[in-house]
């Protein structure tokens, strides 16, 4: 057997396998029972430290000082990681076809493609700033973001080490590597702390804010031997148990993802580093009995495959089952079975195969084949959803002239119910034009975007103000503006609703930026001298510095002050009551259930709206209210399909097709608002 082949069979340290077991158990518990272990996501940070340590130690033992050495290193990563990851990606696509609503296939295809190229973390960052995807269901492969961070590290770190170990500095190569990694850790940790304080997905998913965690493991690899040699046995025991306590404490004490990683990640990261530094395999007593346990070692050996498979099963089974103890049991049993098979056939076979290990060409072929399989799975999902969308658009076109379509059916008691005039896939992508036109002022709320519809030079102007529940009214408002030769200007934000006091986003910067955005919008509307100001919001984000019991009253008062500004400026105000908020994503529900199962009790879907309460306090003033609740809800329940049209493209926003059928209500409300002020 060649040296490389033997190297592939190198026995792992039992204490590190136990640390892997702890990490993956925490992640699985967090995903299944988040309230039981609200900080269980720190298991990911433990994995990053382990990877940084093992990879750096390997590169120090086998320096990447030639093209061949670099190729051998990357080849080993391909054999070790890619087949199992590909199996999970392709298997998840199969699960999606069997269990997951087809409305998610396009997003899953995108995520699968990103995962195949090890950039899912950047895909999630892009989606977080893309309001089109703000309410998408969780992707069953979104956990591949951590693999993306690791594989990007594996690509770049050997090159940095090669520079540090170049012939000119060979005598001090270890010191050069140590200096390089300390600099990387310092810069990355500083970026993580700074960006985490500002909030947003970039701080959580970006490689630049996570690489310091791998770097801590790398620092440990550089000086590990000295630390262990000089450390007394009792000190190593303190390190091991103290590190374990730090990780477990973080799992129970943490919970707010918006304040992570940053400095808080130091606790689990340094805890993991302490456990590795303690060299647990040399300890005796209770620690060895814990990490030497057969079940612990079995879990650690299969931790990679457990991580790959547990989340797709949670998402897929969650689409068709109630998340009770039977669901959890099925996820755990399924994960264990799939992980065992994956470890045996997709981890061990490729990395121990003498033919693969001894041939760079065959390893390159494995890379190409695995990538092609993943992309093929993604392409299949995308093609299926595209075909379903085209079919839905054809159905909608065929039914377009039906006088009872959409809200018209609820207005006219003679209409009755129509057959479904579209498909869930088409509805899930039928968003108002403000999405395609990028009219949103989204996090971090620093943009100042205004979109205009209708007659640009019109003498009669309408301003639309609010968050996404205002944006859903753009289709009927634009239709009315077009018919009457009016101009419609939008002042839309995502999440951030129209009050004059800060909201609580978990970040002082976001709180302030949201307030500044709303003050700017109010100033622009007042200065613009609009004839009518239309306001609609979903009031869900809590106000900053206001007790929970006082939130509603404070929201009413804040809305009242905003409305008063417009009234004082001589502008008519039309408030639109917030629309029903269903219990789940409507197209996804309809893709897998009957319409009746997707309806929501009226009292649950229509909580009190503080914006309406504020408007009603202006008795006799130029303020009116439009409420279309009765067009979507009966006495007891709010329906997901009205007049053959699916009402929402996600959980809480109208499809463009359904919203457009509300144009008669909007037209009458605008005319009444104008008459009220004349």
Domain boundaries, the chain: 3-88+138-363, 432-584+593-635+650-677
DSSP 3-state assignment of 198? helix
Q: What is the DSSP letter of 654?
A: B
Length of the chain: 678
Residue 516 is predicted with a pLDDT of: 98
Q: At which residue do the structure tokens 């269990």 appear? A: 99
Question: Is the pLDDT assigned to residue 283 strictly greater than 50?
Answer: yes
What are 177-210's pLDDT values in tens digits? 889 999 999 999 999 999 998 777 899 999 999 9
DSSP 3-state assignment of 220? helix
The whole-angstrom separation of Cα 184 and Cα 208 is: 9
Residue 3 is predicted with a pLDDT of: 37
Which residues are CB-neighbours of 261 under 8 A, at least 6 positions away?
Answer: 45, 192, 196, 203, 204, 209, 210, 213
Q: Across-strand partners of 572?
A: 532
Range of lowest pLDDT (417-421, 565-569, 668-672): 417-421
Instruction: With beta carbons less than 8 A apart as the criterion, state whether 488 and 464 touch.
Output: yes
What are 654-670's pLDDT values in tens digits? 999 999 999 999 999 99
What are 90-139's pLDDT values in tens digits? 999 999 999 999 999 999 999 999 999 999 999 999 987 553 344 457 89
The whole-angstrom separation of Cα 262 and Cα 306 is: 27
Residue 197 is predicted with a pLDDT of: 81
- Strand (E) positions, 361-450? 440-441
Q: How far apart are the first and last CA of the chain?
A: 93
The whole-angstrom separation of Cα 180 and Cα 213 is: 14
Residue 521 is predicted with a pLDDT of: 98
Report the percentage of the chain scoring pLDDT > 70: 94
The whole-angstrom separation of Cα 585 and Cα 587 is: 6
Residue 1 is predicted with a pLDDT of: 33
Selection from 422, 401, 400, 418 nearest residue 409 by Cα: 418
Selection from 293, 339, 262, 313 nearest residue 22 by Cα: 293
The whole-angstrom separation of Cα 196 and Cα 203 is: 5
Range of lowest pLDDT (195-199, 448-452, 626-630): 195-199
Which residues are CB-neighbours of 614 under 8 A, at least 6 positions away?
Answer: 556, 557, 559, 560, 563, 575
> 35 or 592: whose pLDDT is higher?
35
Range of lowest pLDDT (5-9, 80-84, 454-458, 593-597): 5-9
Mean pLDDT of the chain: 92
Residue 398 is predicted with a pLDDT of: 92
Rounded (10°) CA dihedral 602, 662, 540, 128: 120
Half-sphere exposure of 124 (CA within 13 A, CB side): 25
Question: Is the pLDDT assigned to residue 573 strictly greater than 50?
Answer: yes
Q: Kindly report the number of other CB atoms within 10 A of residue 68's CB atom.
A: 10
Q: What is the DSSP letter of 444?
A: T
> 311 or 127: whose pLDDT is higher?
311
Report phi then psi at 107, rounded to 5. Answer: -65, -40
Structure tokens at 575: 């408030």
Residue 118 is predicted with a pLDDT of: 98
DSSP 3-state assignment of 9? coil
* Beta-strand relationship, 641-642 and 645-646: antiparallel
The whole-angstrom separation of Cα 464 and Cα 462 is: 7
Domain 432-584+593-635+650-677 -> CATH class: alpha beta
The whole-angstrom separation of Cα 631 and Cα 233 is: 74
Residue 6 is predicted with a pLDDT of: 42
Q: Name the pLDDT band for 278 (thresholds 50, 70, 90).
A: confident
Q: Name the pLDDT band for 291 (thresholds 50, 70, 90).
A: confident
Range of lowest pLDDT (295-304, 500-509, 522-531, 633-642): 500-509
Question: Is the pLDDT assigned to residue 465 strictly greater than 50?
Answer: yes
- Give residue 570's Cα distance to chain centre: 43
Q: Kindly report the number of other CB atoms within 10 A of residue 518's CB atom.
A: 27
- Burial level of 428, CB count in 10 A (0-12/13-18/19+)? buried
Question: Is the pLDDT assigned to residue 635 strictly greater than 70?
Answer: yes
Question: Is the pLDDT assigned to residue 625 strictly greater than 70?
Answer: yes
């Amino acid at each position: 057997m060649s040296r490389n082949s033997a190297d592939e069979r190198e026995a792992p340290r039992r204490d590190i396998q136990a640390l892997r077991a702890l990490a993956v158990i925490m992640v699985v518990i967090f995903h299944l029972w988040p309230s039981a272990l609200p900080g269980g996501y720190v298991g990911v940070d433990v994995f990053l430290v382990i990877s940084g340590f093992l990879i750096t130690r390997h590169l120090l033992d086998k320096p990447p000082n030639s093209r061949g050495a670099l190729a051998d290193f990357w080849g080993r990563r391909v054999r070790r990681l890619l087949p199992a990851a590909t199996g999970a990606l392709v298997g998840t696509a199969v699960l999606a076809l069997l269990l997951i609503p087809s409305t998610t296939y396009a997003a899953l295809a995108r995520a699968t493609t990103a995962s195949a190229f090890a950039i899912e973390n950047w895909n999630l960052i892009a989606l977080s700033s893309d309001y089109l995807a703000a309410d998408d269901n969780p992707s069953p492969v979104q956990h591949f973001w951590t693999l993306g961070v690791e594989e990007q590290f594996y690509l770049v770190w050997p090159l940095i080490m090669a520079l540090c170990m170049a012939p000119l500095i060979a005598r001090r190569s270890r010191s050069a590597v140590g200096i390089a990694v300390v600099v990387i850790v310092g810069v990355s940790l500083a970026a993580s702390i700074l960006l985490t304080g500002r909030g947003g997905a970039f701080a959580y998913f970006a490689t630049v804010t996570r690489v310091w965690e791998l770097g801590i493991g790398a620092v440990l690899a550089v000086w590990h031997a000295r630390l262990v040699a000089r450390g007394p046995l009792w000190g190593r025991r303190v390190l091991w148990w103290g590190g374990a306590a730090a990780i477990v404490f973080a799992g129970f004490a943490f919970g707010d993802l918006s304040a992570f990683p940053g400095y808080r990640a130091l606790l689990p990261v340094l805890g993991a580093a302490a456990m590795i530094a303690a060299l647990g395999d040399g300890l005796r007593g209770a620690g060895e009995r814990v990490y030497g346990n057969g079940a612990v070692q079995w879990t650690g050996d299969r931790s990679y495959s457990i991580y790959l498979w547990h989340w797709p099963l949670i998402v897929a089974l969650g689409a068709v089952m109630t998340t009770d103890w039977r669901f959890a049991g099925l996820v755990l049993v399924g994960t264990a079975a799939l992980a065992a098979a994956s470890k045996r056939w997709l981890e061990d076979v490729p990395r121990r195969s003498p033919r693969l290990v001894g041939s760079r060409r065959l390893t390159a072929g494995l890379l190409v084949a695995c990538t092609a399989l993943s992309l093929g799975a993604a392409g299949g999902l995308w093609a299926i959803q595209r075909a379903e969308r085209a079919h839905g658009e054809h159905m909608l076109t065929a039914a377009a002239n039906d006088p009872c379509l959409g809200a018209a059916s609820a207005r006219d008691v003679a209409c009755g119910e129509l057959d479904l005039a579209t498909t869930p896939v088409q509805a899930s992508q039928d968003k108002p034009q403000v999405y395609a036109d990028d009219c949103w002022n989204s996090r971090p709320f620093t943009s100042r975007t205004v979109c205009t519809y209708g007659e640009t030079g019109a003498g009669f102007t309408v301003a639309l103000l609010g968050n996404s529940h205002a944006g859903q009214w753009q289709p009927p408002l634009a239709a009315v503006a077009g018919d009457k030769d009016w101009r419609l200007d939008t002042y839309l934000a995502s999440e951030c609703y129209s009050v004059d006091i800060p909201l609580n986003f978990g970040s002082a910067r976001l709180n302030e930026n949201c307030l500044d955005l709303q003050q700017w919008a109010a100033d622009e509307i007042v200065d613009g001298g609009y004839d009518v100001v239309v306001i609609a919001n979903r009031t869900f984000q809590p106000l900053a510095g206001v007790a929970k019991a006082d939130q509603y009253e404070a929201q009413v008062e804040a809305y009242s002050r905003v409305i008063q500004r417009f009234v004082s400026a001589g502008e008519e105000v039309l408030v639109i009551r917030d629309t029903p908020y269903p219990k789940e994503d409507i197209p996804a529900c309809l893709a897998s259930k009957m319409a009746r199962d997707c309806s929501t009790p009226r009292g649950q879907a229509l909580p009190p709206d503080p914006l309406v309460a504020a408007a009603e306090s202006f008795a006799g003033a130029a303020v009116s209210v439009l409420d279309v609740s009765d067009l979507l809800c009966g006495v007891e329940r709010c329906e997901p399909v009205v007049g053959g049209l699916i009402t929402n493209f996600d959980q809480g926003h109208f499809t463009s097709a359904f919203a457009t059928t509300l144009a008669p209500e909007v037209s009458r409300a605008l005319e009444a608002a104008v008459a009220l002020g004349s």
